[in-house]
Every structure is written in structure tokens, then in C-alpha cells.
Structure 1
Amino acid sequence: MSMHTPYAPGAVSRRSFLKVAAAAGGSLMVGFWPGEGEAATAMASAPADLNAFIAIGADDSIVLTMPKVEMGQGTYTSIPMLIAEELEVDMDKIALRHAPPDAKVYGAPFGDQFTGGSLTIRTMFEPMRQTGAAARMVLVQAAATQWGVTADSCRAEHGEVIHAASGRRLKYGQLAAAAAKLPAPQKIALKDAKDYKLIGKPLKRLDAKGKTDGTAQFGIDAQVKGLKVAVVAASPVIGGKLKSVNDAKARKLRGVRQVVKLDNAVAVVADNYWYAKQGLAALDIKWDEGKYAKLTTDEVRTTMVAALAKPGHIARNDGDALKTLAADSKRVEAQYINPMLAHATMEPMNCTVHVKGDGTAEIWTGSQVPARARDDAAKVLGLAPDKVTLHNHLIGGGFGRRLYTDYVVQAAAIAKQVKSPVKLVWSREEDIQHCLFRGLYAHAVSASLGADGKPVAFSHKIAGPSNLAAFAPGWLKDGLDIDNVEGSDIFSYDIPNMRSEYTQEDGPVPTAFWRGVGPTRNMTVLESFMDELALKAGQDPLAYRLALLDKQPRAAHVLKQAAQLANWGEQLPPRSGRGIALMRAWGTYLAQVVDVTVSDDGEVAVKRVVCAVDCGVVVNPDTVAAQIQSGINYGLTAGLFGAITLKDGRVEQSNFHDYPILRMSQAPQIDVHIVHSSEAPGGIGEPGTAGVGAALTNAVFAATGVRVRELPLRPELLKKA
């Protein structure tokens, strides 16, 4: 998920978020809040284990509460590294816990508790270091007071405070009770980068052991006494409703306990998943298919293409691109389409809910928005949010899908009618056919070239649904969905007349953020079109780009690095091709070179991807490399195979046989070069996905001469003539 926000990552002042509280047992708790005032006061008086990031016990235990969720991206290692760096503790001494749902405490700096948008390190880099430093400073002061010396004569290391002159030392656990009574420091001293012991080092992930030995707990692993399992069938037609269901056969089956009817779905509750599936198959369901019973992909595509002719919101308007283009009869024009895509997370949607008889409820799930999930479930249950306890878990793939709470709401609606705890598990078919999809977008691009082949005018028009309008309407900028234009609005090349415009066109298909969102779509289009312009100008695609980047040294550098590592310009065998693309978004610059071979039957094999990335200061280079590799494979999955299509209002794909995922045997060699940088940290979860699409299509063109303007790649179009 990607989003701009009206809040700058550094907008939270040091003094506004630090609170130090004493917890039962003489432990030290340090909390982080988005602001002062009544809300902060209320949080300070709440139980300390609900509002602190750092807990140091009298037994030397160190527990860190994670403000972001772990869904495979390495958050549960990078954030502890930031805290531990300044707290001066060893990573192997740290225990972690999931943050409870509380947007006031864990929603800084946005006021909304979520994980996404490649925002974690960008927004947490300084606050988490400050949190660790504040705790270190009060611990040092507590020791200095006990010894009757000045704080600056002491130092902290490896979970101890040491008085250099006398050699005395006290462990943090011995100081926690006294430190908890001290006020938060007014000025926080952070380390200089040259003194980092952890930041920038390739450290092992803290969640790796549990994920390899099976002890890690995901939402789907939740177990509660008396638990029943529910499976569900939702209307197969978009917007359809449940008309009737005959459940006589299902109720006679072994293990089936209950059939629950919802407005647009029906669920079978049973002793286990298998019994529930058998019961669901035995139902005789009739649907009211509604007004979208004949909806097709072609109809959605036609609507979006037509929307390109409508006026939109202007994201960028340098010079007068439209006038220059209108005057050029030789202008280059193209239309691109981004297809609909499913998220296809490895862990399907699931949620366990127990509605108790005492007016409370408990929820176990994995969510990118735990506070929203809790609050939305509470509405369905008719309970106040403080009567609902949500236990968040590790997530087996988010990709933006778990920024939404539909599966939690559905589980709550089912559990409301069931006396025992119930775990809702979507089948893979339900997951793919009732996903909240990446929408279909249409793009119109045009450029006017000067005598030297360089673009003097460039226009990019986008039409498609707005996810931001539904998810966070307050983040719209004068009505403009700034996520949908990201990448286009800061297109790096030096073009005197540049225009970027977006027309919102929402439709009946439920849509959502998808890993990389706006830049994933926009960079695929823009960087493919840049290759078209280079061809028109008769110039090498790399040289063409570099000639337009004199004012963007970071962009030029990653392009040069990727090209050099990939041996750009060398002669390749027939039906082999090499494509290059630049990606700039989320505060990160990234260039990729993709090598492909195309069989005579049109099948594309990706052999190698070389990536150079400048994401500013790096916390854990291993995580950066892993995220880029993951993002590239996710993007290649979409480019090679990914498309959700509609027929008669129904999603045609249902499982991995017709919505395939890149297999290990198909995955390319991926070489990642991380540029050393002292710039502010950029995002890294999504750039790999956003950068690979155009490099792939450009490589395919180099191999076949076929320009692909709508993914996924279609072998019938790439066959040897």
C-alpha cells in the first residue's frame, strides 16, 4: 500500500511523545504518543503495559511493544534495532509483543494505527531511536544519582550503566524502579551515525526462529476452548444478495452444528474445517444476482478508457504540455491498461471471534489495522469498543489486503449468532473470488520530441477507482487521490512541459490497495513509454534516460549502477532481451535491469534481475535485500500471469491453477546492490514491485519487437512469426 499524507515523518516533536511510567513490579515503561493534552494524560494513567514501547523488568527482562505489525517485511527486527541502538541493549536479550489496538497510542503520526505504504522506517526511524535514548538517559541518571556522580561521567552498554572512573556498574533491572520515577528528559541525545553498533548491520531476524520451528503464531493458528470452525460462501456475483438456502442435507452431516445466514453470504459452523466444507457443499443456495449479473472485464475496461476523456484533478502541470502537444502533429501517443489483480496472500483471510454472555467479546486475527478491525467488529456486535478485546497476530502476507476489515466484520456477524467461539476461514476460492481487488486503470500518455529526440512535452492521464477516498478521505488533496498519481507527480526526468492528471472512476468492483499501488501502475506505464520514446529518437534506452537526469543525481546513480552490474549493452542471443527501468517513489530511488528469453511459442522466462537501490539510511541491509527480492517476485507474478477477469458478474479465477503464483523454478536470479547513503530513510516494501513491470516489458520488446501495453504477458502475442 502506498500513500502520501499531510503529515511529515518528522512532524512529531521529541517532547510531545515521551512519557515515562512506573509499572507494577518496579519496571520501567517508556511510551510514545502523537501529542500532548487530554488524550496523552488519559494514556499515561492507563495500565502501563497498554501504552509503552519499552518495558524493563527488575529481572533484567526487556520487552518491546511493536507499533507496526509483522507480515513478513522484517518490521519485528528493524524497529527493535532502532530502539536497541539507543537503549544500548543486545538484540538477543529482547522479547517482543504485538501492540494492542489503540490508534491514539500507536497511530502516530497519522492518528490511524496501520502498517503499510512503505512507511514504517520512514516514520519510525527517529521516534523509535528517541524512545530508546530517553529510556537510556533516565537509567543512566538513576545510576548516577545512586552513586552520587554526574550522569555524563557514566555510560550505558549491553544493558548496564557503568561509571568509568570507579568501574562500578549496575544492570538495567536494578535501576528500573528508580528510573521510572524520573521525569522524561527534555533534550534527547541521539548517536551520531558513525557510532552505530546495530543500524546498518545485517542482523538475523528476530521472528525467524519461530517461523522455522513452527512456534510462530499467525491468526489462523488461534485456538480457544470450545472452538468451532466456519466456512462461508458469499454471493458469486458482485453485489449479489442471498435469496434463500435449503440446509436440510447439511444439518444431517457429521460435525455440522449450525448454518448462519447473512445478507450476502451463508456460513456453515462445524467441529472442524473439513466438516464445515462438507456442510457448505451440501447447501442448496439461491442468489439474487442483482444488477451486475452480466458485468464483464471488457465493460469495466471500456468504462475506464472512456473516463480518460473526462476532466480530472491535476497533480502536476509544469509549463504547458497540452498546448505543446496539440501543436505537434508527430507527437507520440499510447494507451496502457493495468489489469485487475488479487492479493493472494499465503495465509487466507481468517478471524476467530468469541461473543461472550457478559457483554464482551474477544477477537484473534492478523490485521494491518488492528484498531479499525476492533472498532468495526464492535459496531457489528453492538458493543462499545472497550468491550471488545482484539489479539493481533503475525500475518502471513498482507500486501494491502489486510488494511481492510471485511473478513473481521463477517466473522463477527457469524459469531453473533453462535454461542461458542468460532473461527472463520476463507477457502482459497473464496479468498480469490471475493478479494478486494487492485482495480483496472486506463492510462493515456503522449509526448512531443525535440530535434535532439528529448521530450519537450509529456502528458500522463490516469483513470480508475480511488482507494484513498474510501480508506482515508481526509488524505485527499483538494479532491485529488495523491496515491493514484504517485510516481507520476514526481517523474524524475527533466521535461520542460510536464502534466499529470487523474480522473476518478469508481465502479461496482470492490477495490483496495495492492502492494505498490499507484507507483506500481504508473511506473510500469511511464517507464515503458520512455522506452518507446527512446526508440522513436533512435537512442539507447539507458543513454536516453541519463541525458534527462542531470538534476537528479540519485536517480542517475542507481541507473548507472544497475546497468553496469547487468553488463548493459552486451550482445545477447536471438529471442533474448534486456530491459531497464527507473523507479522513484516512497523517498526511494531504484533501477532494475531484467533479462528474459522468449521461446518460439511465446513463453517468457525471466533469467536475471539486477537492482540498484538508494533508500537513504539503511537499518538492516538483509531486510532491504529480502524486501526487494520479494517485491520483484511479487511483481513478476503479476507481469507474467496476473489478471482477474469477470464474466457474468463473476470472477473467473478461483485458485492457483488459474491464478498462478511464480514458482521457485520460475524465479530468476536477483542481484541487489544497495547504495550507501546518508539521506533520510525511504520506503522499501513496495519499490521492488513497482520497478519491475516496465523493465520486464522493455526486455520482452528487446527480445521480440512486440510492445506490451497491457499485462500480463500473452504467449500468443509473442510467438515467433
Structure 2
Amino acid sequence: MTLNTSRRGFLKSAAAAGAVLFVGATAKGAMAAGQSADAMLTPFVKIDASGQVIAIIKHFEMGQGPATGLSTIIAEEVGVTMEQIGFEFAPSDPAVYNNLFFGAFQGTGGSTAIANSWEQYRTAGATAREMLIAAAAQAWGVEATALDIIDGQVTGAGNSAPLGDFVAAAAEMTPPEAPRLRDPSEWKIIGNPKTRRLDSPAKVNGQAQFAMDVQLPNQMVTMIKRTPQRGGLVVSFDDSAAKDVKGFIMAQTLPTKHGVAVYAENTWAAIQAREALEVEWDMAAAETRSSDEIRDEIMAALDAEPTYNVNKAERAAVKSAVDGADTVVEKTFYFPLLAHAPMEPLNCTIEQTAEGDIVLHDGAQMPTGPHMAYQQIFELPPEKIHIKTMLAGGSFGRRATPDADYQVEAGLAFVMTDRTRPVKLVWTREDDIRGGYYRPAVGHRVRVGLNADGTIAGWEHQVAGQSIAKGTPFEPMMVHDGIDHSSVEGIGDSPYQIPGMAVGLTDTQKATSVLWWRSVGHTHTAYVMETMMDMAARAAGRDPVEFRLAHLTGDEADQTRKAGVLRLAADKAGWGKAPTGRAQGIAVHKSFGSYVAEVVEISGNIDDGIVIEKVTAAVDCGIAINPDVITAQIEGGIGYGIGHAMRDQITLSDGAVEQSNFPDYEPLRISDIKMIETHIMPSTVAPTGIGEPGTPPSAPALANAIAALSEDSELVAELPMAEAGVYFA
């Protein structure tokens, strides 16, 4: 069962129920334990006198599985089954619940949930186990080394009792400085393919509470009438027609003038009243470019010298090597704006308590952002602001905006009321697709020189597009020497051993609000790298798998692990043995610390329709905490990547988004891919990312399969594929 409460709330409620053992960390990162709510740390695990173990999940759950993964780690170390553990989402408290990869910031993203929490949660679970064992050893007068906790029972030396019997005594003890972590040979849950998600039953039976499910007593619903073009401001509005809508309460211009907040008794009334509202906009500073103009600007930037040299290679020398090569393979690529389009549109609910505290109910991916923003909006200290993190129906990065956009909207809408009624902000699907944040539009130009023996002599690579990080609070972390790493990740730092590689980058003007999108820069860099490797292999007369392996001959982990998944995917897919009438394409890529190779097998043709018969994936993400979750994430990542490459784009006309909903921004259908097969590489390396790494290789593997259909087939270099004349049956 998923519980949602504030820090003060869950500590007090647990303490009131009787003896409770809390185990977690102090603000300085040291493990601590106790049962006093007032003197307590911020816990990662709590155990009550009934023996109920609760994992406190510091990461947001949008379907990618950290609630199950982190609970699995705790359960394994404590010694309980998955049926004996529950979870709660942690409150907003970046002093301890910070993402270790993000600094002093609490948030989920970049496929870091398990990777940055692995040691923390193992240590917390082991600490709890050793404290309970110490209490039992003291009660029984035996050596602690003779005891263990198995399936929730403290057992050994001829004794056995439920772990709950020792919670009170354990809570009075000093935690061990270096608890013994269970050896992998002891694991029963970690790596077990039969371990199932904790949140699935509640989602199936309707008990799970998503942010959209929040319904507080006497709440109002607000929707925002937003500018149709980025940068427009409200001059005035007329709500005369809106007043005729049953349930309409009022309308007010946001203090930022970015829109008009419409308040109503329910969602339908808010939608109708907003449609009836007439707004005069100041468009002096608004975006007016069309998609064609934006594309032309990006292509012009590719024609010029890049602003930044990413990997410090001598560009002139690399150009000379390419120009002097026996064969030159070159291609120009373009990637359009893309929407995130999660199944649950954006929403959150805000209320004020009798004590004057502000409470936000939200599928909060980056709780530190709205927490800081609300301190300014409401002029309150941080301890007077509480964020109750709910489940979210997807995000793909959309809920992780640097400016906490929709939470700020809700806060501003609420502060304009008398605060006696909660306010629920709701976005429609059209709001999200037309007025949200997008994967940047990006262009690439690549020239690869090949020697007579088919080896790479030089690789010239230019990128032009809109920076995600520049001008945001994340700039100090993501931008170095002027280079936004998210624009070029996966190219200059590719594990391929490519001699004479020069990578240049030019930032172009942002056409709209841009944001990380599932796998961020890897969404386009993997496509370019992997299709160019195929083109180079064909030009050299070599097999695409063999050609890639020839550039992964190093003995460092990057080469050996990438080569490992490449071989595994090729073997499991029967590379080179496709039935008559079918073609295969392969791609392999490292992202977020993990390595994924995929083989796409297709039939048909681009005129009558291509059928994706099968996708075979191999993944190395370190220790596989939950194989079932890993498989699901790889499948989802493949579908997300292929679906968008097939037919999706966001286009602008005079600065306004033309798409509005799923009929003209169509997500992947379950019928689009007949079969996906995932193989997980065994590993003893610490876990790495899994939420995003399945996406980057999927589209280039499909593109390579299409190019391999016949001698006349060409690589699709401008997405979506449907716009390039590729028809899917």
C-alpha cells in the first residue's frame, strides 16, 4: 500500500502507535537510529512493534519502479519478504533526501533513482537488521553472530521470534558504525525474476492515489488561459460569457501576466468557462517563427564554424584526414521538437492548514523546486511548506522543469484567493501538447572518412540546436566551458574508439520552452552515431556488428560492456539469419551508465507498409535489482523511442503549436510492435540507470533495418519517418 504524508505527520503517527525503530541518516550523511520523532534524523526505513517494515522512498514514482526497487533493497537487507514490506514517499527535505548525483537537491531524473540510492538503502536496511539482532541476542543471552532475520523472524541459537518483538529495545540502541551488508550469495529477492512490483495491485484495484485523484473538501478547480505563443502577456480579459457557465466562480490575471486563472466548482465548468473567456494579448515579445524558419536557422548554423569545440580535437587536422580518405560518408540530420505527452496530464492541488502551513499535493518529480518557489510566493520559511508526493501517470521529464512551472501556476492561483478553499490546478491534454515543454529541435552534420582497408580515418561531427540548461538553475551543473553537455552527450564521450574525431556545437535561439525528454540528448545523438556507423560499415563492405566490434577492442569497461550487449543482442536475434522478406537493423548505445543493444526485425516495404516483427534487446545495467522492472522499462523505452520516430513532431505556425491531442500527436500503439524480447547481462557492478537507456538505440535500429530492406533503400535522416515517406502497416 502506498502512503502519502508529511515528515512531521509520518513521524508522529508512527510514534503514537507504539515502539518504532527509525533508521536513516543525519544531515551530514551519517547513519543514525532511534524512536524519538523530535530528536530523529530523516529515515529511510521504519519498523513498528507489529513488525511492519516501511521503506521511505526518496524518489518519485511515475511508473519506472523505484518504489519497488528501493523497497527490495531494504527487504533484502533486513530479512523480510516483499509481502512483509510497504512503502511511503519521503517528504520534501533535501538535507537528507537529496539526489546524491544532483547535489543539495531532492529530485528524480536521469535514471538515477536506484544508482544513487543503492548504498544508502542497503546500509539503512543492514543497520536495522543488526540492531534488531543485537536486541534479540541481548534478550536471549546469545551471541549476535549466531542470529539472522529470515522472512521476518529473528532466528538462531535455538530461538525464533517475530522481529517486531525487538523493535522497542532496538530503538534504544546505538546503531553500528559499519553494518555488515549481505553477501550476494545470501540474496533471495534482489535479482529474482519472480519478484513483482509492489504498486501493481493497488493500481489494478483502484486504491492507488495519483495526483489527479486528489479531491479535498470544498476544493475549487482552476485552469489557465495561456498565451497561444511563447512570450505573450495578458493585457485584459472579459469574463462576461464565462459568468453564464454553471459552476464558474471567478477569473483573475496571474501576477506574471502569463495567463488568466479561471476558477470553478469542477473540471468541466472550468473548461467551459475558460473557453468562454476573451483575452487580449500583448504579443510584442512573443515567438512568431514557423517550424521551417527554425529548421533553416539550425541548418545555417551547421554550415558555419561551430561556436564550441566539444572534445578539443584539432578540427583542421580532422577535416584534412576526412578529405584525404579513400571513401567519405556524409549525412545531415534533423530532429523536430517533441512533446512528452504522459498519460496523466499535469495537475496538482494546494491548500492552507489552520496553522497557516501550505500543503502541495503533487506527483512531485523535483520537490525542491516548488518548495523553494513557495517560500517566495507565500513568504514563509521552509518548515511551513509541505509537499505530499503522489503517484504520477508518467512524466518522461515533463514534471521536472527547472522553473517548477505548473506548481508555480498553482501557487499563484491560490495566493490570489482568500485561501479558505483548496485549489486544484488541472491541465488538459491540449494544454500540455500546445503549451508545454519540448525536446529541442536539433540538427547534425557528419562526415566520416574511411581508409582503403575499411577503417575510420576521421570523423567530423557538428551539432546545432537549442540548449536545455542555459538560462536555468541547472546551468552551473550542466554547462561547462559554454558547452551544454546534454546537447552532445553520447558523441564525444562515446565508447567507440574512433581516431581523429572532432565534435563542434552551436546553440541556436530557443523557439519555445525546451526540456529534457526521455534520455535527453541521447535521443538524437544515438540515432546519428548508430546510423552513421551502419553507413560506414556498408561503405566499407563490412558487417555492421563486426564493424562496431572492431571499434570496441579496448579493455576498459566501456568497450567490454558495450561489446558484450552487442554480441548478446545479435546472438539472441539471430543476426544475419532473418527469414526471407525480412531485414534487420542493429544499434548499441551507452547512456546513464548502462549499455543497451537492440536488433529490430521488419518486413514489408516503405510504400505498402513496414511491419515491426520483433525487437530483441540486451541490457547491462549492473546488478539487476528487479529483472521484471528492468524488462518493463526496456520495453517501454523501446516503444517510446520508436513511436515518436515513426510519426511524431511538434510544429509551429507563426509561433503557435499546431498539434493538440493524440489524433495529431499519435503515441505508439500496442499493435505497432509485434514482439519485444529482453535479455539482461549478469553483473556484479553496482546498479546503473534503466528508466531511459532503452530509448536511444530503438529508433536507429529501426532506421538501419529500413535501410537494409533493399539496395534502393535509404537511411531516414529527418524525423519523423512518416514525413520522409515511410508508411507503417
**Shared fold per TM-score greater than 0.5:** yes
For residue 50 of structure 2, give the secondary structure of its aligned residue in structure 1.
coil
Maintained 8 Å contact 2:15/2:37 = no
> Please, which of 184, 191, 195 is the counterpart of residue 175 of structure 2?
184
Greater shift after overlay, 76-85 or 498-507? 498-507
1:417 aligns with 2:416: yes
Partner of 2:260: 266
Shift of residue 197 of structure 1?
1.0
> Please, which of 320, 339, 347 is the counterpart of residue 342 of structure 1?
339
Partner of 2:645: 639
Shift of residue 50 of structure 1?
7.5
Alignment of 1:96-111 (within 5 A): 96-109=87-100, 110-111=103-104
Q: For 2:106 and 2:414, how far apart are their aligned partners in 1?
A: 25
TM-score under structure 2 length normalisation: 0.90
Shift of residue 611 of structure 1?
0.7
Partner of 2:670: 664
Q: For 2:218 and 2:490, how far apart are their aligned partners in 1?
A: 50
For residue 290 of structure 1, give the secondary structure of its aligned residue in structure 2.
coil
Greater shift after overlay, 560-569 or 268-277? 560-569
Distance change (3 Å), C-alpha of 1:192 and 1:499: farther
Q: Partner letter of residue 27 of structure 1?
A: V
Q: For 1:317 and 1:498, how far apart are their aligned partners in 2?
A: 9
Alignment of 1:509-548 (within 5 A): 509-548=512-551
> Please, which of 367, 376, 384 is the counterpart of residue 379 of structure 1?
376
Q: For 2:34 and 2:141, how far apart are their aligned partners in 1?
A: 33
Alignment of 1:556-635 (within 5 A): 556-570=563-577, 572-574=579-581, 576-599=582-605, 601=607, 603-635=609-641
Q: Partner letter of residue 466 of structure 1?
A: S
Percent identity (aligned): 38
> Please, which of 474, 477, 502 is the counterpart of residue 476 of structure 2?
474
Partner of 1:125: 118
Greater shift after overlay, 64-73 or 373-382? 373-382
Partner of 1:311: 306
Shift of residue 606 of structure 1?
1.9
Shift of residue 152 of structure 1?
1.3
For residue 136 of structure 1, give the secondary structure of its aligned residue in structure 2.
helix
Q: For 1:547 and 1:111, how far apart are their aligned partners in 2?
A: 42
Partner of 1:455: 456
Partner of 1:74: 65
Q: Partner letter of residue 612 of structure 1?
A: A
Q: For 2:64 and 2:717, how far apart are their aligned partners in 1?
A: 31
1:710 aligns with 2:722: no
Q: For 1:57 and 1:411, how far apart are their aligned partners in 2?
A: 37
Maintained 8 Å contact 2:71/2:86 = no
Q: For 1:43 and 1:379, how far apart are their aligned partners in 2?
A: 34
Partner of 1:351: 348
Shift of residue 326 of structure 1?
4.7
Distance change (3 Å), C-alpha of 1:44 and 1:238: farther
Q: Partner letter of residue 533 of structure 1?
A: A
Shift of residue 267 of structure 1?
2.4
Q: For 1:298 and 1:439, how far apart are their aligned partners in 2?
A: 14
Greater shift after overlay, 520-529 or 257-266? 257-266
1:254 aligns with 2:252: no
Q: For 1:93 and 1:546, how far apart are their aligned partners in 2?
A: 46
Alignment of 1:358-369 (within 5 A): 359-369=356-366
TM-score under structure 1 length normalisation: 0.91
Maintained 8 Å contact 1:33/1:108 = no
Maintained 8 Å contact 2:242/2:273 = yes
Alignment of 1:380-395 (within 5 A): 380-395=377-392
Distance change (3 Å), C-alpha of 1:139 and 1:358: closer
Maintained 8 Å contact 1:317/1:498 = no
Maintained 8 Å contact 1:432/1:654 = yes
Shift of residue 357 of structure 1?
7.1
Q: For 1:23 and 1:105, how far apart are their aligned partners in 2?
A: 21
1:430 aligns with 2:431: yes
Shift of residue 410 of structure 1?
0.5
Q: For 2:179 and 2:349, how far apart are their aligned partners in 1?
A: 42
Maintained 8 Å contact 1:233/1:430 = no
Shift of residue 147 of structure 1?
2.6
Q: Partner letter of residue 459 of structure 1?
A: E
Q: Partner letter of residue 187 of structure 2?
A: Y
Maintained 8 Å contact 1:601/1:716 = no
Q: Partner letter of residue 287 of structure 1?
A: W
Q: For 1:715 and 1:434, how far apart are their aligned partners in 2?
A: 23
1:150 aligns with 2:143: yes
For residue 688 of structure 1, give the secondary structure of its aligned residue in structure 2.
coil
Maintained 8 Å contact 2:441/2:465 = yes
Provide Cα deviations, 1:147-183, integer angstroms capped at 9, x if missing partner: 333221222222232232xx12333222112212222
Distance change (3 Å), C-alpha of 1:43 and 1:518: farther
Q: For 1:474 and 1:210, how far apart are their aligned partners in 2?
A: 40
Partner of 2:498: 495
Provide Cα deviations, 1:382-409, integer angstroms capped at 9, x if missing partner: 3333222221100110111111221111
Maintained 8 Å contact 1:351/1:424 = yes
> Please, which of 283, 294, 297 is the counterpart of residue 291 of structure 2?
297
1:681 aligns with 2:687: yes
Shift of residue 496 of structure 1?
2.2
Q: Partner letter of residue 417 of structure 2?
A: V
Can you give the 5+ residue segments of structure 2 that lack an aligned partner in the other structure? Answer: 1-13
For residue 659 of structure 1, give the secondary structure of its aligned residue in structure 2.
coil
Partner of 2:8: none
Q: For 1:524 and 1:583, how far apart are their aligned partners in 2?
A: 9
Partner of 2:276: 282
Can you give the 5+ residue segments of structure 1 that lack an aligned partner in the other structure? Answer: 1-21
Shift of residue 461 of structure 1?
2.3
Partner of 1:237: 229
Q: For 1:559 and 1:96, how far apart are their aligned partners in 2?
A: 37
Q: Partner letter of residue 687 of structure 1?
A: P
Distance change (3 Å), C-alpha of 1:42 and 1:122: closer
For residue 64 of structure 1, give the secondary structure of its aligned residue in structure 2.
strand
Distance change (3 Å), C-alpha of 1:478 and 1:368: same
Maintained 8 Å contact 1:44/1:51 = no
Distance change (3 Å), C-alpha of 1:689 and 1:160: same
Maintained 8 Å contact 2:21/2:46 = yes
1:84 aligns with 2:87: no
TM-align CA RMSD: 2.4
Number of corresponding residues: 694
Q: For 1:454 and 1:238, how far apart are their aligned partners in 2?
A: 47
> Please, which of 146, 154, 161 is the counterpart of residue 161 of structure 1?
154
Shift of residue 287 of structure 1?
1.7
Shift of residue 268 of structure 1?
1.8
For residue 628 of structure 1, give the secondary structure of its aligned residue in structure 2.
helix
Q: For 2:352 and 2:115, how far apart are their aligned partners in 1?
A: 38
Q: For 1:688 and 1:716, how far apart are their aligned partners in 2?
A: 24
Maintained 8 Å contact 2:231/2:283 = yes
Q: For 1:249 and 1:517, how far apart are their aligned partners in 2?
A: 43
Shift of residue 192 of structure 1?
1.6
Q: For 1:113 and 1:35, how far apart are their aligned partners in 2?
A: 15
Maintained 8 Å contact 1:312/1:503 = yes
Greater shift after overlay, 64-73 or 595-604? 595-604
Maintained 8 Å contact 2:15/2:35 = no
For residue 96 of structure 2, give the secondary structure of its aligned residue in structure 1.
helix
Q: For 2:721 and 2:727, how far apart are their aligned partners in 1?
A: 11
Q: For 1:716 and 1:581, how far apart are their aligned partners in 2?
A: 21
Maintained 8 Å contact 1:239/1:508 = no
For residue 546 of structure 2, give the secondary structure of its aligned residue in structure 1.
helix
Provide Cα deviations, 1:652-711, integer angstroms capped at 9, x if missing partner: 100001000111222331011111122232211111111101101111112251221111
Q: For 2:38 and 2:570, how far apart are their aligned partners in 1?
A: 55
For residue 543 of structure 1, give the secondary structure of its aligned residue in structure 2.
helix
Shift of residue 557 of structure 1?
2.4
